[in-house]
Structure 1
Amino acid sequence: MPREAETAARLESLEIKAVYLEDLVDSLNTVVARQQAHIDLLLHEVRRLREQTDEGAPPAFRSLRDELPPHY
């Protein structure tokens, strides 16, 4: 009988751990989904900014002499 009680206790402990792990996986899944949505939003914003700068892109080569400091 003590062997059966030990097995039952170990089984109960494993079931409790499984429940905690399921909860942890669900929580992590929520965090990952939120982060992915944020990444997608940021990628969209970067694309939009690149398109915006490509439209009004300055010449490829600019000399620093062409840009005078504000006090001149």
Structure 2
Amino acid sequence: MDASSRIEALEFKCAFLERSTQELSDVLARQQLELQQARARIDDLARQLEALDAAMEGAGGPTGPRVEVPPHY
């Protein structure tokens, strides 16, 4: 294998690695966005759950672990 073909092989590998790195970077950026959206949704759901829990407590309804399971369970 002469120097010219070795350089060509290295350039090919370098181009492949650059393309792979860019693809991985794109995937990572997309996953970060999805994670941020999921965290925001979880926060919204937690706030809704707290509001429902407070509303049930204010209405005198059962909440939390104090809810008794019917005997047939």
Are 1:42 and 2:38 counterparts?
A: yes
Q: Percent identity?
A: 25
Taking structure 1 as the reference length, the TM-score comes to 0.77
Q: Which of 1 and 2 has higher RCO (CA within 8 Å, sep 6+)?
A: 2
- Unpaired segments of 5 or more residues in structure 2? 57-62
Q: Which runs of 4+ in 1 moved over 6 A?
A: none
Equivalent-residue separation in structure 1 for 2:52 and 2:19 (angstroms): 50
- Equivalenced residue count is 61
Taking structure 2 as the reference length, the TM-score comes to 0.76
Equivalent-residue separation in structure 2 for 1:41 and 1:9 (angstroms): 48
Which structure 2 residues correspond to residues 54-69 of structure 1 after superposition, within 5 A?
54-57=50-53, 59-60=63-64, 61-65=66-70
